Structure 1
Amino acid sequence: MAAAADGNVFVPLDGGCTCGAVRYRMTAAPLFVHCCHCRWCQRETGSSFALNALIEPAQMQLLQGTVDVVLTPSASGRGQKYVRCPHCRVALWSHYAGAGDAVCFVRVGTLDTPDRLPPDLHIFTMSKQPWVVLPPGTPAVTEYYEREAYWPAASLARWPALRGKSGAASES
């Protein structure tokens, strides 16, 4: 078992799609969890935000089924890849252009125990729905953020290994 950013033992997290055809496991603690309130995430999720756990693809195991990868437009104009169940079409994780395939943005709501991964940061709060109340004590920024300002040291230490993989850029 991997150690979480806070030094505690991390118990792997399992998740899957609605119909049960696809099951996956996160084998390490995520690098970071952010709650994105941008209009693109609102549209893509049909909700007020997207809660994403960022993790290395090597720490993701596909336990059951196959997935479809669907390229969709994004605000940056560079697109993003959604990994979906081919049957119920639930988005399980994505890859954004800024990080390439080097980082999975796992949809926390697809985990069996999503309550284990509350957000470390709320982003793009300039476009959050006015009736969404952010919890006190959780940082929030109006747009995107500098990794070094918010990520824990253990996650920042894992980042350099990802920078050269599958088109990963220094920003994401």
Structure 2
Amino acid sequence: MASPPPPTTPVPADFTPLTGHCDCKAITYTIKAPALVVHCCHCTWCQRESGSVFALNYQVESYNFTITSPTKPTLIRTPSPSGDGQIFGRCPSCGIALYTHYDVNKMRVFVKVGTMDDASRAKVRPDVHIYTSTKVEWMDLKSEVERGVPCFEEYYKTKDVWRKESLERVEALKAWVEKGGKVGDWVVE
């Protein structure tokens, strides 16, 4: 049975699609909708996986994320703190991780903001800082708090942080999946 068409995502008039690529530009992508949420994650897993002190992830429905290059990512399964596992989409040539998704919510993609083109990356800011209990000591989040960005020592309740539109989009996503919605093989194994 063919997958039903995905729900229409309400996109503000001033939103322009975001683009990105790996280092060697063998893989390019486009994001067609605003983020459900942008996490700045300070957990030790994200620190290790990113090779940096945090990971900045732009979460969006899988049908709003498109690989636009002929080259498709290599999918690498890794463990995750939850035990559910996660899958990294990496360039088969340069090895750069472009996105992840988790077994528990394969229909959402966590795009690595550092892989976005400069103009796209300049438009993205964290909506929330998570796992700040393990952030590096020298990182001061005072300016983020002053900007109104919530900071949590661990995780948070989605309904307490996400915008109403994002919560509605996730409900539409769940309904689509229940009707048999499927995404491309660049997301799931």
TM-score normalised per structure 1: 0.89
1:151 aligns with 2:158: no
Aligned to 2:96: 90
1:80 aligns with 2:91: no
Using the aligned pairs only, state the percent identity: 41
Q: 8 Å contact 1:14–1:23 — kept in the other structure?
A: yes
Cα shift at 1:133: 1.6
Aligned to 1:170: none
Aligned pairs for 1:7-156 (under 5 A) are 7=12, 9-64=14-69, 65-99=71-105, 101-112=106-117, 113-134=120-141, 135=144, 136-137=146-147, 138-156=149-167
Evaluate the alpha carbon distance shift between residue 116 and residue 3 of structure 1 in structure 2; reply closer, same or farther with a 3 A threshold.
farther
Cα shift at 1:153: 0.9
- Distance in 1 (alpha carbons) for counterparts of 2:172 and 2:109: 14
The size of the alignment, in residue pairs, is 162
Structure 2: segments with no counterpart, 5+ residues: 1-8, 179-189
Q: 8 Å contact 1:3–1:29 — kept in the other structure?
A: no
- Distance in 2 (alpha carbons) for counterparts of 1:146 and 1:97: 20
- Distance in 1 (alpha carbons) for counterparts of 2:164 and 2:37: 11
- Distance in 1 (alpha carbons) for counterparts of 2:130 and 2:13: 26
- Distance in 1 (alpha carbons) for counterparts of 2:14 and 2:126: 19
Q: Per the alignment, in what secondary structure is the counterpart of residue 163 of structure 1?
A: helix
- Runs (4+) of structure 1 moved beyond 2 Å? 161-166
Cα shift at 1:3: 5.4
Structure 1: segments with no counterpart, 5+ residues: 167-172
Aligned to 1:169: none
Measured on the aligned residues, the alpha-carbon RMSD in Å equals 1.6
Q: Greater Rg, structure 1 or structure 2?
A: 2
Aligned to 2:6: none
- Distance in 2 (alpha carbons) for counterparts of 1:81 and 1:27: 21
Q: 8 Å contact 1:3–1:9 — kept in the other structure?
A: no
Q: Per the alignment, in what secondary structure is the counterpart of residue 29 of structure 2?
A: strand
Cα shift at 1:55: 0.2
Which amino acid is the alignment partner of residue 100 of structure 2? S
Which amino acid is the alignment partner of residue 126 of structure 1? S
